Amino acid sequence: MSRFASFSTRSAHAGRGPARPSVSRPLTPPIYQSTVFAYEHLEDLDTLNPDKHSHSYYRYGTPTHDALEGAMCELEGGEDAALAASGTAILTAIAFTLASAGDYLVADRHLYGGTYTFLTEELPRLGIQTQLVDACDLDEVSYALRKGAKALFVEAITNPTMRICDLPALCMLGERYDVPVIVDATFASPALIRPLEYGAAISWHSIAKYLGGHSAAVGGVATGEHTLIGAIRQKIAQLGGCQSAMDAWLTLLGLPTLPLRMAAHCRNAQAIADYLARHPAVEAVYFPGLSMHPHYEFASQLYPNGYGGMLSFTLNGEMEAVQRLVERLKLIVFAPSLGDVTTTLAYPYATSHYGLPDDVLCSLGVERGLVRLSAGIEDSADIIADLEQALS
């Protein structure tokens, strides 16, 4: 640039030249924080030459996003993956890709509160109806699907009672009625279950939970077959809901430890559930790794690597007992999310399920005394000691 005499011209272009050729590469993928990419040749634009891969504009993806998409394909065993700004953004793109006005969807009644509201309140405004079913009742699902549903939405492990439906059987029903099965596997992560292996059309996650793992990265990811994911990627670009490169990069930093973290989350959740199940102040414990859980036997087959890091329990004294617990805990933090390396508590009645009608709350098992716990990776003895002093 020094051949330009003017200081303002040199300053405007300073540092923007192509990178110096190097025989080495960064071991950790870098963040490409550039809203646009520069071309040498007009004909290299992917609109003019679809065979050439290029990055053009941030909203359509950057090499940082490519790296995360590639990683998710490896973890899920999928052909392609698409990223979005949040789990909710990827859900929106999935729904808009699969359904139009006049269509109907089928969904498990026990879906995450935000998904439930989107399907039952937002989509009907656009002429898309959702029929709610109990996804653990295969006859009910079968009956609902056969009238031409555009998709079946289920979760690998549901919130907050940790139900585990027969995913392989649901996928077989999807195949029989030619309905794509869309699985929110956020609570399990691909370390515990990979829905595509059972025939699901899409496995999707809220990255803010286990994939990120450190309560720093936000995003959503859907993995599946090329054509469908390509259509979803295009929808995300149209809706404007791209993930930030920083969040994609933070997610990449979290992924290598996913199996180690999940093993610790599962081990600790089991120890905490065993402890709470014997505690006199605890009325009920919801954890698929307890033999008292209605889906224990089935979960043991489907989840050989662990029953997840999430559990819920009800306290005898309703909301006052929950308040007392939150005040007294020293190590465990009250924070309405999940999947962090530290153990956190949430209160579904006032967070994930806030505002739902009482009869709906009741049918979902969301009582005022219900506490949800996300087991961290600490020493389980310390977590249990904190619960012991707080519940005494």
Ligand X SMILES: *Cc1c(COP(=O)(O)O)cnc(C)c1O
Q: Give the residues lining the site for ligand X (CB under 6 A).
A: 86-88, 112, 114-115, 155, 159, 184, 186-187, 206, 208-209, 220
Q: Least distance (Å) from ligand X to the CB of residue 212? A: 9
Cα distances (angstroms) measured from residue 59 to each of 111, 168, 252, 279, 349? 29, 35, 19, 51, 36
Nearer to ligand X, 32 or 112 (CB): 112
**Six-digit token string for 168:** 């392989």
- Give min distance, CB of 208 to ligand X, in A: 5
Which is closer to ligand X, CB of 310 or CB of 322?
310
Residue 376 CB, shortest distance to ligand X, in Å, is 16
Q: If you count them, how many residues does the chain have?
A: 392
The contacts of residue 147 (CB under 8 Å, 6+ apart) are 104
CA dist list (Å): 361 to 88, 120, 153, 333, 339: 21, 15, 19, 25, 23
Residue with smaller CB distance to ligand X, 221 or 272: 221
- How far apart are the C-alpha atoms of 228 and 251, rounded to whole Å? 23
CA distance 121 to 302: 33
Provide the minimum distance between the beta carbon of 62 and ligand X in the complex, in angstroms, as a whole number. 20
- Rounded to whole angstroms, how far apart are CA atoms 174 and 333? 40
Backbone angles phi, psi at 51, to 5 degrees: -75, -20
Q: How far apart are CA 114 and CA 287, in angstroms?
A: 22
Paired sense of beta strands 370-374 and 129-133, if any = unpaired
Q: Which is nearer to ligand X, 88 or 342 (CB)?
A: 88
Q: C-beta of 156: minimal distance to ligand X in Å?
A: 9
Shortest distance, position 206 Cβ to ligand X, whole Å: 3
Minimum distance from CB of 273 to ligand X (Å)?
Answer: 19
State the nearest-atom distance from the C-beta of 310 to ligand X, in Å: 9
Q: In the complex with ligand X, which residue's Cβ is closer, 55 or 118?
A: 118
| Sequence letter at residue 241 | G
Q: Whose Cβ is closer to ligand X: residue 204's or residue 313's?
A: 204
Would you say 115 or 391 has its CB closer to ligand X? 115
Residue 209 vs 293, nearer CB to ligand X: 209
